[in-house]
Amino acid sequence: MNNYVYLSLGTNMGEREALLHEAVQMLNKKTEINVERVSSIYETDPVGYADQPPFLNIALKANTSFTPHEMLKVCLEIENTLGRKREIRWGPRTIDLDILMYNHDNIKSDSLIIPHPRMNERAFVLIPLEEIDAAIEIPETGLHYVQGREGVKLWKTADAFSYLQKQKGDHSC
């Protein structure tokens, strides 16, 4: 596996923490994906459509042999399996998996834009991303730090995902 991918995961319906864990486990069970780092869990205020419950959000870094479009397909399959319905833009959801970055690639197709076009506007993405890679440079902005933390609070530390080390060998989480 020689590609790295950063993902953002969020949920605000049902058993939120359990859904995050299940999504991470589903990713890590794929032989083509090795989840290396998972952030702490952050509870965040909704953005865009405000009349909904707060979200739990994480970021993760994985190595993969999947292409970006294959990775997108896996993310959509996980969303579907975990009951994601797309009824209201930025509305409530059981789970959301977004590809933030794939290597240093810039991709624009009908189904996929990498880097994620709104990631640098969202503290709920940048704060967990910065936690798993403090030296990360956000494409197109050059940002490598987060300025505001409004609406984002630590909910559970990253050791909530320590079981991943046992699933595929000893990798840092």
Buried b (16+ CB within 10 A) or exposed e, 29-42: ebeebbbbbbbbbb
Give the global pTM.
0.84
Which are the catalytic amino acids? 84, 93, 96, 98
Q: Could you give the CA distance from residue 170 to residue 16 in angstroms, rounded to a whole number?
A: 26
CATH no. of 3-167 = 3.30.70.560
* Weakest-pLDDT range from 15-24, 70-79, 120-129, 141-150: 141-150
Q: Is residue 81 classed as helix, strand or coil in its secondary structure?
A: helix
Question: In the 8-state DSSP scheme, what is residue 53?
Answer: P
Q: Which two tokens stand for residue 28?
A: 């890590």
Determine the pLDDT at residue 171. 45
Q: Among residues of the chain, what percentage have pLDDT more than 70?
A: 82
Residue 76 above 50 pLDDT? yes
Q: What is the pLDDT of residue 39?
A: 95
Most distant CA atoms of the chain, gap in Å: 42
Contact between 85 and 100 (Cβ < 8 Å): no
Give the per-residue pLDDT at 44: 86
